[in-house]
Amino acid sequence: MSPDVVIQHALAAAFAAMFTVGALQKLSDREAFAAAVDNYEIVPGALIGVFAWLLPLTELTAAIALLLPSTRPLGAALALVLLFMVTLAIAINLVRGRADVGCGCGGLEDEQLLSWPLVARNLILCVAMLPLLPEAAGRGLHAFDYLTIAGGSLTLFGLYATASQLIANRPRLARIRPAR
Partner 1 sequence: MTTTVAIALGALWLLVIALTIAVFALARQIGVLYERVAPMGALMLDDGPKVGEQSPVFNLTGLQGESVEIGQPDSHGRLVFFLSPTCPVCKKLLPVLRSIADTEAAWLKVILASDGDEARQRKFYAQFDLGRFPYVLSTELGMSFKVGKLPYAVLLDESGTVRAKGLINSREQLESLFTAKELGVESIQQYLQKA
Across-strand partners of 102? 113
Which amino acid is residue 132, in one-letter code? L
CA distance 3 to 7: 7
Name, in order, each residue with C-beta under 8 angstroms of 122's C-beta and a sequence gap of 6 or more. 83, 86, 87, 90
Contact flags string 43-62 toward partner 1, x per CB under 8 A: --x-----------------
Q: Which stretch binds partner 1 (CB under 8 A): 4-12, 17-25, 29-37, 119-127?
A: 29-37
Name, in order, each residue with C-beta under 8 angstroms of 153's C-beta and a sequence gap of 6 or more. 9, 10, 11, 12, 13, 14, 17
Q: Does 110 bind partner 1 (CB under 8 A)?
A: yes
Which one among 130, 137, 141, 172 touches partner 1, defined by CB under 8 A? 172
Residues that bind partner 1 (CB under 8 A): 31-33, 35-36, 38-39, 45, 98, 100-102, 104, 108-110, 143-144, 147-148, 150-151, 154-155, 158-159, 161-162, 165-166, 168-169, 172-173, 175-176
